[in-house]
Structure 1
Amino acid sequence: SGVGYVVQDGLLVCPSNGGGDLYTNQEFGDFIFRFDFRLDPGGNNGISIRSNMKGSGTYDAGTEIQILDDYAPMYAHLEPGQYCCGVYKFIPPKRGAEKPAGQWNHEEITLIGRKIRVTLNGKEVINADFNTITDPKVFAEHPALWRDKGHIGLLGHGPATVAFRNLWVKDLTKPRKDNVPPPGFVALFDGKDLKGWKGLVADPPTRAKMSPQELAAATAKATAEALKHWKVVDGVITYDGKNNNLCTVKDYGDFELLVDWKIEPHGDSGIYLRGCPQVQIWDDVPPIAAQVGSGGLYNNIKNPSNPLVKADNPPGQWNRFRIIMVGDKVTVWLNDALVVNNVTMENYWERDKPIYPTGPIELQHHGSHLWFKNIFIREIPRVHQPAGASE
């Protein structure tokens, strides 16, 4: 609104009658951002990091580092995470480093992976790791925290003038090697073999009725057969479309999962979570009836099943899922687009029950040639009652 940002006397200024958000053209993943800011009394602004430039700076669009006149009486009773240099609403800063309105402040934001460090006038005010967050409410209300790249933005909130100068950014993003996990994650596939994976035996209710001896024998048989069809070729899991799902040996509860996948024309697959179908993968052109695109919770009936947007790359090109599951809620990004936002995943196998509290990750067989790589998982400690758990 208003006149937006203007350049005055070598300064970048958001006037009191200005507003709006101003973003870099370039996207940044890991970086150091240094700048000076000066607030008029009551000034309020912010720095958006890893933003997609859509919507609010503090929800799905990006994460905000607050810029605020902490000394203004109008801000005397804010929440701790709303003060200057805080990760807005989530991580409160150490206070006392800010200079009064009318004076210049020097701020530096360092973001590497999920670790963020903020200094103000030479004093460290934030040193935190987003991966330590376990509160389900944060996962539900702030999906932008988990973005790994995006634009840097200046967020004009008003009601007073805010000036900037000496804005410098150093891009620290490094190319990642295939099948090497990012910090905080472990690899479910090392690019060499299928250690940690097994063949599928029936479904969860059927497996629950089997004795340990019966299940072990059936698993050994299923795994031997699966390894004839699921193979590792040049650092990629390849599947000939002629067997069944490939499952992790380990069961998982709450987690963040990264998966790169590729399909052939008219291909069909999915990612099972806790042994339940599924985050959908399919070709988005006829004759497959998938014009909505991949990423939706296909088997939901009562809750949304389609993705919010279509974000697929064409068959033959790689796609990336980022899937977060906390309790019975699932959030999915496809190629950095938010396609499922905190949706309840239903129990396909037992419709009258909630999703199982734990279960394997599965790569779905649906008769298509498939390719997978860069499969990484970060387990999220539970601080709440898991869905399906007894009191």
Structure 2
Amino acid sequence: MKGKKVVLFLLTGLLLNGVVFAQNGWTDLFNGKDLKGWKQLNGEAKYEVLDGVIVGTTVANTPNSFLCTEKNYGDFVLELELFVDPDMNSGIQFRSESLPEYNNGRVHGYQCEVDPSDRAWSAGIYDEARRGWLYTLDINPSAKTALKLGEWNKYRIECIGNSIRTWLNGIPVAHLIDDMTAKGFIALQVHGIGNNKEHEGRQIKWRNIRIKSDNLKPAPYEGVPVVNLVPNNLSEAEKQQGFSLLFDGKSTKQWKSANGENFPEKGWEVENGTLSVLSGVNGGDIVTRKEFGPFEFKFDFMFTEGANSGVKYGIGNNGSSIGLEYQILDDEKHPDAKNGVVGNRTLASLYDLIPAEKENRFVKGANQWNRGRILVFPDGKVQHWLNGRKVVEYTRSNNIYRALVARSKYADYEGFGMAEKGPILLQDHHDTVHFRSLKIREL
């Protein structure tokens, strides 16, 4: 009998310093009894173990609180279950850090979101105290129903190399490619509530927290939209989706002058993986050598202070540079932001026709990288996206679109924006603007 107990103990796991090393490569990060192997940073929310569960409770007048693993992890698969108050926001930090030289030890890094609100971005990816939202669920709206209120929910996070993926209750949610931080701790967040006494005492609970960090194999690709933050990189998942690079960080061979067959000899330059139009030189607009029908175009852009530029599409026979325009503009410093009608010349707007939704925009200001996205569907629907949020949607050819054109500066251009196929254009508006990670796929 004693021998059987020893065998059973070895099969179920070895308890050491409060951490259970389980079978099949999994390690339990929580022993079900106490918080050995964890430490609390930043805020003063209450963490305790009750009935084999970690319970976090909100406390007023304290910042975000984090219960962090004492050990750092690089590549891993993390699984846990959580139960969240429906009026509470939380998150799971991973590859995160707390450094004296960074905001006085403020916890920062990747966070897998816990969001029971109507926004429903649970298992999206946020960069806590650093870059903000990296992967919103607007990008993958089919996953918005994955979180179950009033129930235990199972989260899974897979980090292998620069690939970061999340699942919620078995539903694939986010797929991020990023290389900013390769290693860090895991933490359970209790979000700060300010001085709101009504929200004090709300709880989130965690259990069955386990990690695997050896002999990892990526899960099969499941078709989730990819956000790739590695400059000019085309991931295997993006290749499977049909994307190709229009700029690899070095060559301009896929581009030419809008008014000729060669790339401009002046006014544009390639340096440090960036394609830039320069102020005061007048190199002219550039267009892709290839023409595209319905497409999805992803691009990073950085405008300098007070700059103006744009990405044009739907270009037909009305002039080499006349077409629908995704506006690129420093709204704070360029006067054109106040021209037009109801803000239809501001950043990410359909220039001179439809303003970008201001409430939904995540804007990075001058000299910071923004992520643009244009989708032109076969049925005529068109969308503009900015930093993971849809800010413009319209349908070419319907009566609303025709009325808008009739009231715009394009009223005299017959068939404006209606070309079924055409090049993509990057505008030279005589200001310095930088581009990278130019990717396209036909729909």
Q: Secondary structure of the residue that 1:373 maps to in structure 2? A: strand
2:336–2:346 Cα contact (<8 Å) kept: no
1-side partners of 2:67 and 2:352: how far apart?
Answer: 38
Say whether residues 1:257 and 2:297 are aligned partners.
yes
Residue 134 of structure 1: aligned partner: none
1-side partners of 2:289 and 2:255: how far apart?
Answer: 5
Alignment of 1:19-30 (within 5 A): none
Distance change in 2, residues 1:119/1:318 (3 Å): closer
Q: Which amino acid is 2:53 matched to?
A: L
The equivalent position to 2:337 in structure 1, one of 270, 290, 293, is: 290
The equivalent position to 1:164 in structure 2, one of 206, 211, 214, is: 206
Distance change in 2, residues 1:187/1:88 (3 Å): same
1:32–1:108 Cα contact (<8 Å) kept: no
2-side partners of 1:54 and 1:162: how far apart?
Answer: 10
2-side partners of 1:247 and 1:36: how far apart?
Answer: 49
Residue 330 of structure 1: aligned partner: 383
Alignment of 1:119-268 (within 5 A): 163-167=205-209, 178-183=231-236, 184=238, 185-201=243-259, 222-224=260-262, 226-240=264-278, 241-268=281-308
Say whether residues 1:361 and 2:440 are aligned partners.
no
Q: Which amino acid is 1:228 matched to?
A: K
2:76–2:159 Cα contact (<8 Å) kept: yes
Say whether residues 1:319 and 2:382 are aligned partners.
no
Shift of 1:34: 2.9
**356-365 vs 47-56, which moves further:** 47-56
2-side partners of 1:307 and 1:118: how far apart?
Answer: 30
Q: Secondary structure of the residue that 2:262 maps to in structure 1? A: helix
Q: Which amino acid is 1:245 matched to?
A: D
Shift of 1:194: 0.8
2:245–2:439 Cα contact (<8 Å) kept: yes
1:38–1:163 Cα contact (<8 Å) kept: yes
Q: Which amino acid is 1:110 matched to?
A: E
2-side partners of 1:367 and 1:24: how far apart?
Answer: 48
Distance change in 2, residues 1:290/1:353 (3 Å): closer
Q: Which amino acid is 1:361 matched to?
A: I
1-side partners of 2:312 and 2:394: how far apart?
Answer: 15
Q: Which amino acid is 1:290 matched to?
A: A
Q: Which amino acid is 2:81 matched to?
A: F
1:295–1:307 Cα contact (<8 Å) kept: no
Aligned residues: 286
Q: Which amino acid is 1:373 matched to?
A: R
1:239–1:369 Cα contact (<8 Å) kept: yes
2:48–2:54 Cα contact (<8 Å) kept: yes
Residue 158 of structure 2: aligned partner: 110
Q: Which amino acid is 2:384 matched to?
A: T
2:177–2:230 Cα contact (<8 Å) kept: no
Q: Secondary structure of the residue that 1:260 maps to in structure 2? A: strand
Question: What's the CA shift string for 1:269-325, capped at 9, x where partnerless?
Answer: 011134333111122334523277953224253x444644461322xx232223141
Say whether residues 1:12 and 2:54 are aligned partners.
yes
Residue 375 of structure 1: aligned partner: 438
2-side partners of 1:46 and 1:236: how far apart?
Answer: 38
2-side partners of 1:232 and 1:259: how far apart?
Answer: 16
Distance change in 2, residues 1:191/1:257 (3 Å): same
Shift of 1:329: 2.3
Structure 1 unmatched ranges of 5 or more: 16-21, 65-85, 91-100, 131-144, 156-160, 202-221, 382-391
1-side partners of 2:440 and 2:266: how far apart?
Answer: 26
Q: Which amino acid is 2:391 matched to?
A: V
Distance change in 2, residues 1:270/1:378 (3 Å): same
Shift of 1:234: 3.7
Shift of 1:376: 2.3
Question: What's the CA shift string for 1:229-266, capped at 9, x where partnerless?
Answer: 32323432232340321111122344443323233332
2:348–2:384 Cα contact (<8 Å) kept: no
Shift of 1:6: 7.2
Q: Secondary structure of the residue that 2:261 maps to in structure 1? A: helix
Residue 81 of structure 2: aligned partner: 37
Distance change in 2, residues 1:54/1:177 (3 Å): closer
For normalisation by structure 2, the TM-score amounts to: 0.47
Distance change in 2, residues 1:355/1:115 (3 Å): farther
Question: What's the CA shift string for 1:199-241, capped at 9, x where partnerless?
Answer: 214xxxxxxxxxxxxxxxxxxxx13372433232343223234
1:331–1:343 Cα contact (<8 Å) kept: no
Distance change in 2, residues 1:227/1:290 (3 Å): same
Q: CA RMSD of the aligned region, Å?
A: 5.4
Q: Secondary structure of the residue that 2:438 maps to in structure 1? A: strand
The equivalent position to 1:340 in structure 2, one of 379, 391, 404, is: 391
- Between structure 1 and structure 2, the one with the greater Rg is 2
Alignment of 1:45-124 (within 5 A): 59=119, 61-63=121-123, 87-89=143-145, 108-110=156-158
2:310–2:427 Cα contact (<8 Å) kept: yes
1-side partners of 2:306 and 2:166: how far apart?
Answer: 46
Shift of 1:107: 6.1
2-side partners of 1:258 and 1:320: how far apart?
Answer: 11
